[in-house]
Amino acid sequence: MSLILHITHQDQWQQAQQQGFYRCDSLETEGFIHCSKLQQVVWVANRFYQSQPALVLLCIDADRVQSEIKYERVENDLWFPHLYGVLNLDAIVEVLDFVPKSDGLFELPDRLQN
């Protein structure tokens, strides 16, 4: 399994479950859903989601995603997976609560640490 991750708010995840697929604002504004590789997700969380409550981490099997995934250079030669279309829910293999520590920073959930 090729694992990619997406950070979202719990209410957006609940909405996806009702709709039968996941989409977010960036799909409309930028044309894709931002995702991360395992070793990138904490950096992303600490840069863009610091101290935000009620987040979940969607653990996605990239091999089961029906929309196109492109790995694109973002900055400093970092390549991130971008999902060009809605996310089919059967590609999501696990949903983890993603809670910041008391200092507002994130760390990789125990479940994803080797």
Chain segment 49-70, per-residue pLDDT in tens = 999 999 999 999 999 999 999 9
Instruction: Check whether 76 has a pLDDT greater than 90.
Output: no
Contact assessment for residue 2 and residue 44, using Cβ atoms and an 8 Å cutoff: no
Structure tokens at 26: 């960036």
Strand (E) or helix (H) holding 25: helix 25-29
84: tokens are 């060009």
Domains and CATH numbers, the chain: 3-105 (3.20.170.20)
* Predicted confidence (pLDDT) at residue 47 exceeds the cutoff of 80: yes
78 in Cβ contact with 92 (< 8 Å)? no
Task: Identify the DSSP state of 49.
Answer: S
**What pLDDT does 87 receive?**
98
Look at 27 and 114; give whichever has higher pLDDT. Answer: 27
Asked if 70 and 30 count as a contact pair (C-beta separation under 8 A), the reply is no
pTM: 0.94
User: Residue 75 — pLDDT band, cuts 50, 70, 90?
Assistant: confident
